Amino acid sequence: QVQLVESGGGLVQPGGSLRLSCAASGSIFRVYVMGWYRQAPGKQRELVTAITSGGSTYYADSVKGRFTISRDNAKNTVYLQMNSVKPEDTAVYYCNFRSVSVPPLEYWGQGTQVTVSS
């Protein structure tokens, strides 16, 4: 079992910045992917960004150049730095952990609300 605890959400004005964190505890895996998903009202959950245990990253086109994912292995924590936020970034953000194992295992954080509004 892996527990994911998110923090850092809140209200921010357009153009502002916010940093989300996701702290993992419990079972550890050698090979994994951690990422951030978001879900806005009336829309499907979408992958925002991800980072592999090897350090490779992925960004959705909608956030490329504005958001940065990073990881602190010593703290078992992944971060999402959100810069130049837009109203369309408003959503519940979920941290996700996926092990590259047989079978693969997946865990989710509790979600944190990010609201971008003036």
- Helix, strand, coil percent values for the chain (each to nearest 5): 5, 55, 40
Exposure of 39 in the CB half-sphere (CA atoms within 13 A)? 9
Q: What is the pLDDT of residues 29-88, one digit of tens each?
A: 888 999 999 999 999 999 999 999 999 999 999 999 999 999 998 888 999 999 999 999
pLDDT at 1: 87
55 phi/psi in degrees, rounded to 5 = 100, 0
pLDDT at 29: 82
Terminal-to-terminal C-alpha distance of the chain: 40
pLDDT at 30: 84
pLDDT at 74: 87
> Is pLDDT at 111 greater than 90 in this prediction?
yes
